Structure 1
């Protein structure tokens, strides 16, 4: 059985993105980036919604990404990736599979199968849908020491209470705090 994990960053007031998809407020410092590179080494399949996929596939294969964050870019580009989308017909980022069906049914089927664990990056809409369906096993939330005036909450639209247990906390010198939770069944 495969696990489904979330890795996302948020503001102190719970937003994972600002207006117009803005994530420029996120601290991408050395230790935080090193943590991300190490996490990519787990071999987890990366999971995206279309909006996050478009943003990631537009950046990580670029010369700028390879110049600015070479280890992260190599890991992102080499990773197996899944994008849930009803509108995409083809993808250009290597190692990417499009899934168009009912995302709850598809993720349930994938979790019951064999293969590497899966990690959702960004993709608030599918995080909310999978959380609502009790499909997410762990949440790694990197909280930046910033509050923004407007944005999209990480759990926008959920209608039930998520019961989570804190299993680890790590503070970076930048003030970023990584909170790791697992779902209480």
Structure 2
């Protein structure tokens, strides 16, 4: 059975990017285990803004060999790289994907989509990389909400440059 994993990096003060979407503060000189994680991924799910921003950041679409779903209220159908789905289609899609595969379903972001997945209780594992950089302001990893969810810490990886990767699972 597959699992939904939020695998994402944030600054020490809790931001996934600057207000304009820049991630220039994020170190990319080490792998931090990303390649191994990426090999475990079959499906990528992201929000429309994140999807559109990828084309500004990368010369080539990085998820060509993955099934990509973009959650959008504005677009339908599909394009060269992705299938667009409406927010109300997420739960049924996740159920099918988890039952049809043993691989990882990667929730890429952003904060609105993460909030939606948390509110639907669809995230099985949180892998949060924390870079020891304070950027002051930006787009937060988690939106403010009224929900509480208990998580269990299952792993901590510490790197020489101060990067941490914390892995949590939903509390059973």
- TM-score with structure 2 length normalisation? 0.86
Q: Which runs of 5+ in 2 are unaligned?
A: none
Distance 1:107 1:126 in 2: 15
SS at match of 1:130: helix
Deviation sequence 1:72-100 (CA, Å, 0-9, x none): x4xx321221111122344232xx22212
The aligned runs of 1:71-86 (5 Å cut-off) are: 73=62, 76-86=63-73
- TM-score with structure 1 length normalisation? 0.81
**2:6 corresponds to:** 6
Q: Aligned pair 1:122/2:109, yes or no?
A: yes
Q: Aligned pair 1:102/2:100, yes or no?
A: no
Q: In 2, are the aligned partners of 1:2 and 1:111 still within 8 Å (CA)?
A: yes
Q: In 2, are the aligned partners of 1:12 and 1:147 still within 8 Å (CA)?
A: yes
The aligned runs of 1:1-150 (5 Å cut-off) are: 1-32=1-32, 35-60=33-58, 62=59, 73=62, 76-89=63-76, 90-93=78-81, 96-110=82-96, 113-115=99-101, 116-150=103-137
Q: Aligned pair 1:165/2:152, yes or no?
A: yes
Q: Report which of the two has the higher share of helix.
A: 1
Runs of 4 or more consecutive aligned structure 1 residues displaced over 2 Å after TM superposition: 56-60, 88-93, 103-113
**1:68 corresponds to:** none
SS at match of 2:41: coil
Q: In 2, are the aligned partners of 1:5 and 1:120 still within 8 Å (CA)?
A: yes
Distance 2:92 2:23 in 1: 29
Q: Give aligned pairs, total.
A: 170
Q: Which runs of 5+ in 1 are unaligned?
A: 66-72
Q: In 1, are the aligned partners of 2:41 and 2:106 still within 8 Å (CA)?
A: no
